[in-house]
Amino acid sequence: MSALLTYYRAQIKTSMAVQLQYRVAMAIWMIELVLQPVIYLVVWTTVARSSGGQVGGYTAPDFAAYYIVLMIVGHITLIWHMWEYEYLIRQGILSTRLLRPVHPIHEDASQNIAYKLLMLIVLVPSVLLCIILFQPAFTAPLSTLLIFIPAALLAGILSFIVGWIVAMAAFWTTRIMAINQLYFVGMFFFSGQIAPLELLPSFVQTIAGLLPFKWMIGFPVEVMLGRLSGDTVLQGILVQLVWIGAGILVLRLIWRAGVRRFGAVGG
C-alpha cells in the first residue's frame, strides 16, 4: 500500500507538470465544464421568473444554488479516458503499459486526480463569481457539507469506474465513438444535468434511480442542497457503495477478458 501511495504522489506531480504544457486545451475543457451548468442556470432562472417566481418548488435562487453545486460535482466526477483507449489499443500503446508493475488504471486515476487538483484554480473563482452574480439560496445547514463530502467523493469514484468500463469496449471494437455518445446521452437525461430530477416526469425519475448516473451527479447535488432526509441520504450512499462494488467486479471481469483478447490478436 505504501508503495502504491508513493506511486500516486510521484505520478500526480508528473501529470501536473505534463498537463501544464497543454494549458490551452485545459482552458477549453474547463470552460466547457463551467459553461454548461451556467447556461442551464440562466435558462431555468429565467423560466422561474417568468412563471410566477418558481417552477416545481424551485425559485430562481434555488436553481442558482443547484447549478453552482452541479458545477462542483461535475468537476469531481469528470472522466475522459473512454475517449483515449480506442487510440491506445489500436496503436498498441497499451502494450507498454501492460509491461509495467502497476495496473494501468492507477496511471489514469492519478492523471484524473492531478487534473482536478490543478483546475481548482479555475473552478473556485468561477464558483465565487456565480455566487456573486446569481445570488443562490443555500438554506441547508453548514453540517450538510460534512455529508456532501463523502457523497461527492463516492460519486467521483463511481464515475471513474463506470467510465473505465465504457473505455474497455475498445478491446472489442475499433471505434467506440457511438458507445461513448450513448453513455453521455444517458448521463445527460438521467443524472440531473438537464434539470433537477424531481422536475422531470415520474418514469424518468424511476429509470434514473435504476441507473448509476443519478448517483454520480444528482444525488450529491441534492445532498448539498439539503433537499433529502437523513434516511434518504444514508440509503443513497449505500446505493453508491453497491454500484461501486458491482462496478469493480464488472471491471475486473472485462479487463481480464479484454487483455486476453488484446494479446490474442497480437497487441
157-184 pLDDT, tens digit per residue, is 999 999 999 999 988 887 788 898 999 9
Provide the pLDDT confidence category of residue 264 given band limits of 50, 70 and 90: low
52-70 pLDDT, tens digit per residue, is 778 888 888 899 999 999 9
pLDDT at 44: 85
Q: Span 221-245, mean pLDDT?
A: 93
pLDDT at 100: 84
Kindly write down the DSSP assignment for every residue of 82-150, as one continuous string: GGTHHHHHHTTHHHHHHTSSS-HHHHHHHHHHHHHHHTHHHHHHHHHHHHHHH-----S-TTHHHHHHH
Q: Where are the domains of the chain?
A: 38-92+126-264
Report the SS3 class of residue 1: coil
Distance CA 80, CA 126 (A): 21
59-108 pLDDT, tens digit per residue, is 888 999 999 999 999 999 999 888 888 888 888 788 888 888 889 999 99
**pLDDT beyond 70 at 185:** yes
Task: Tell me the pLDDT of the chain averaged across its residues.
Answer: 87
**pLDDT beyond 70 at 266:** no
Q: Span 223-241, mean pLDDT?
A: 93
**pLDDT beyond 80 at 31:** no
